Amino acid sequence: MKIISGGVCAARGFRAAGIHCGIRHNRAKKDLALIVSDRRASAAAVYTTNLVKGAPLTVTKEHLADGMAQAVICNSGNANTCNADGLQIARGMAELAAGALGIPAEDVVVASTGVIGQRLSLDPVRDKIGALAADLSPEGSADACEAIMTTDTHPKQAAVEFELEGRTCRLGGIAKGSGMIHPNMATMLVFITTDAAISPAMLQKALSGDVASSFNMISIDGDTSTNDMVTVLANGLAGNPEITAEGPAFAAFMQALNTVTVALCRAIAGDGEGATKLLECSVTGAKDLAAARIAAKSVVCSSLTKAAMFGADANWGRVLCALGYSGADLDVNKVGVRFRSAAGSVEVCRDGAGVDFSEEEAKKVLLEDEIEILVDLGDGDAAATAWGCDLTYDYVKINGDYRT
C-alpha cells in the first residue's frame, strides 16, 4: 500500500473537471464538477438515512439499479431538495451530461449540495456543460474537488496504490463536507474511483461494510443532511482478475478502500464549520464492537466536550458524561481517559475517577490542532475510532446567515 497523489483521477481511465457555471453568484467559486470513466464501470453507493432526501439521490438510485455507471455530475450552491420540480431537474442534469459525453443518461450519477428549498435552474448547466466536458483531464481532480465545495475551507483528496494478484491498482477520491454532518450517513458528498476489477455486488458489499467504520463515525454538529452520498466507480482497467467473492483479493481491496475513506474522514472532521481542531476519539477495551462505536461517537458528538476542546480545557468529566449517556454497555468504574497530541500526553481519569495532573501541561496538549481522546473501557478487546471537531463561536456565525 502506497499513498499517492491524483485524487479521483489517480486510477487509470478517469478524467475530471470543474468550472463556474453560474449557479453560485460568486464567479470566483467553481460550482459544477464532472467525473468520467473511459468505459462503463461497476458502481455502488450509500445514501443519507434522512427521510427528506434530495432529488439527485432518487435519480442516482434509479440509474445504479443495474450496478453500472460511467460518469458523475455534481453542482454546489443548490441542493435541489424539497423542490416540486426536483426530479425533473436532476434527470435533466443527467441528460445534459450524457449528451455532452455521448453516453446513456442512465449511466450518470447525479449529485447536488448547497441550500435546501431553493429552485435550481438547468440554464447554467446547459450553458456550460460543453465547456466542462471539454476541460476533462486526468489532472482534473483538484478542479472537480473545488467545484463540489460549499462552506469547506480547503479541498479534500486522497489516493493509494496497491497490489491485487500481481497487478498494480489505484483507488482515490474527493470529498466535500464541513457542516450538517452526523451519522448515519455522515453528511457529505464523496466520489471514489478505482481501476480495480470488482463486480457490482462485491463493490456494494465493500462500500456498505466500510462506511460503518469510516463515514458513519464522523460528527460535526449533530445534523444529518438530506443530500449525503458516497459513490464508487470501478472500471477494471488495472487488469486484475475480477473480484466476485470474498477472499484475499477482496480483503486487500477493502484495506485500500478504508485507507482512502479514513483519510477523507479526517479531512472532513478537521474542516468542520468554524472548527480549529480535529478531534479523534479512540475507544479500546470495549465488550464488543457495537459498544466501542457507540461510545466513541457519543464523545465526538458531545457539544460540551467539543466546547471544552475549543477552550483547551481538560474537562474530562464531559467525556465520562458522554460515555454514561451513550447507551454503550460499559462499567463506568473501569473507564480511563487520556488526552494526547503532538505536544504530549496527559492522563486525566483512571477507573472512573480523576487523577492528579498538571493543568498547564494539559493545556499545552489541548492547544494543538489535532487532539486524541483516548478512552479505555477496561472491559474487553473491541475498539473503534470516531472523528469530530471542536465547537467554536464561528460555527454559529456561519450558520446564522448561511442562506441569506
**In the chain, % of residues over pLDDT 90:** 78
Q: Decide which of 340 and 25 is more confident.
A: 340
**CATH code for the domain of 371:** 3.10.20.340
Q: In the structure, what pLDDT confidence band is assigned to residue 224 with cuts at 50, 70 and 90?
A: low
Of 10-14, 33-37, 90-94, 187-191, which range is least confident? 187-191
182: pLDDT strictly greater than 60: no
Give me the number of domains the chain comprises: 2
Residue 385: φ, ψ to 5°: -130, 140
Q: In the structure, what pLDDT confidence band is assigned to residue 392 with cuts at 50, 70 and 90?
A: confident
Q: In the structure, what pLDDT confidence band is assigned to residue 390 with cuts at 50, 70 and 90?
A: confident
Residues in the chain: 404
Q: For 233-255, write each residue's pLDDT tens digit.
A: 999 999 999 999 999 999 999 99
183: pLDDT strictly greater than 70: no
Q: In terms of residue numbers, what domain contains 306?
A: 278-400
261 is catalytic: no
- Are 152 and 295 in a shared domain? no
Q: In the structure, what pLDDT confidence band is assigned to residue 71 with cuts at 50, 70 and 90?
A: very high
- Choosing from 187, 226, 231, 259, the catalytic residue is 187
- Are 317 and 357 in a shared domain? yes
- Are 214 and 286 in a shared domain? no
- Are 219 and 328 in a shared domain? no
Q: What sign has the CA pseudo-torsion 261, 228, 67, 130?
A: negative
Q: For 335-379, write each residue's pLDDT tens digit.
A: 999 999 999 999 999 999 999 999 999 999 999 999 999 999 999
- Are 108 and 237 in a shared domain? yes
Mean pLDDT over the full length of the chain: 92
Whether omega for the bond prior to residue 202 falls within 30 degrees of 0, making it cis, is no
Q: What is the pLDDT of residue 181?
A: 47
- Are 255 and 308 in a shared domain? no
- Are 51 and 101 in a shared domain? yes
CA 321-327-333 angle, to 5 degrees, is 55
Q: Which of 239, 270, 301 is the last residue in one of the domains? A: 270
- Are 283 and 169 in a shared domain? no
122: pLDDT strictly greater than 90: yes
Q: For 191-223, write each residue's pLDDT tens digit.
A: 999 999 999 999 999 999 999 889 888 876 555
Q: What is the pLDDT of residue 186?
A: 43
Q: Looking at residues 292-304, what average pLDDT do you find? A: 94
What does DSSP say about strands 189-194 and 229-234: parallel, antiparallel, or unpaired?
parallel
117: pLDDT strictly greater than 70: yes
- Are 28 and 60 in a shared domain? yes
Q: Which of 237, 270, 303 is the last residue in one of the domains? A: 270
Question: Could you tell me which of 242, 320, 234, 223 has the C-alpha nearest to residue 281?
Answer: 320
- Are 95 and 217 in a shared domain? yes
Q: For 123-148, write each residue's pLDDT tens digit.
A: 999 999 999 999 999 999 999 999 99
- Are 249 and 307 in a shared domain? no
Q: Which of 236, 270, 304 is the last residue in one of the domains? A: 270
pTM: 0.84
CA dihedral 109, 119, 401, 398 (to 10 degrees): 0
- Are 200 and 67 in a shared domain? yes
b/e burial code for range 3-42 (CB count within 10 A of at least 16 → b): eeebbbbbbbbbbbbbbbbbbbeeeeebbbbbbbbeebbb
**CATH code for the domain of 81:** 3.60.70.12
Q: What is the pLDDT of residue 393?
A: 79
